Amino acid sequence: MIQINIHEKSCRGCQLCVETCPTDVFAFSEETQLAAVDRIERCIECLSCAFICPSNAITQTNYHAVKNFYWDIEHVKKLGSFL
Ligand code: SF4
Ligand code: SF4
């Protein structure tokens, strides 16, 4: 099964991964202002979270690449705020 890791020191708490994931894998902690992998069993291995993360904080291992069918252009546009 896919493993997803968020590098805590790289995460800037933008929540783009939370908003982008089509299957609601991530949770966001108001206390720490960081995203976390919460429901890995829902992951469909689309890799959109790593694609959207402006900090390159998300890495995936042990996955089978599938078509990146979930690229939401509105979320991609938000990237401009972080560059
Ligand atoms: S997209 Fe990246 S920087 Fe933004 S909350 Fe998710 S892991 Fe953190
Ligand atoms: S790979 Fe796709 S389904 Fe899995 S956590 Fe990332 S955005 Fe969600």
Helices (H), the chain: 16-20, 48-52, 73-78
Q: What percentage of the chain reaches a pLDDT higher than 90?
A: 66
pTM, 2 dp: 0.81
Number of domains in the chain: 1
User: Position of tokens 């493993």?
Assistant: 3
6 lines ligand 2 (CB under 6 A): no
* Domain containing residue 51: CATH number: 3.30.70.20
In tens, the pLDDT along 55-74 reads: 999 999 998 765 554 556 66
Expressed in angstroms, the distance from the first to the final Cα of the chain is 32
Residue 26 belongs to what domain range? 3-82
Site residues for ligand 1, CB cut-off 6 Å:
6, 11-17, 35, 52-55, 57-58
In tens, the pLDDT along 31-51 reads: 999 999 999 999 988 889 999
Of all protein residues, the one whose alpha carbon is nearest to atom 2 of ligand 2 is: 46
CB 81 within 8 A of CB 61: no
Q: What is the largest CA-CA distance in the chain?
A: 35
CA 12 to ligand 1: nearest atom? 3
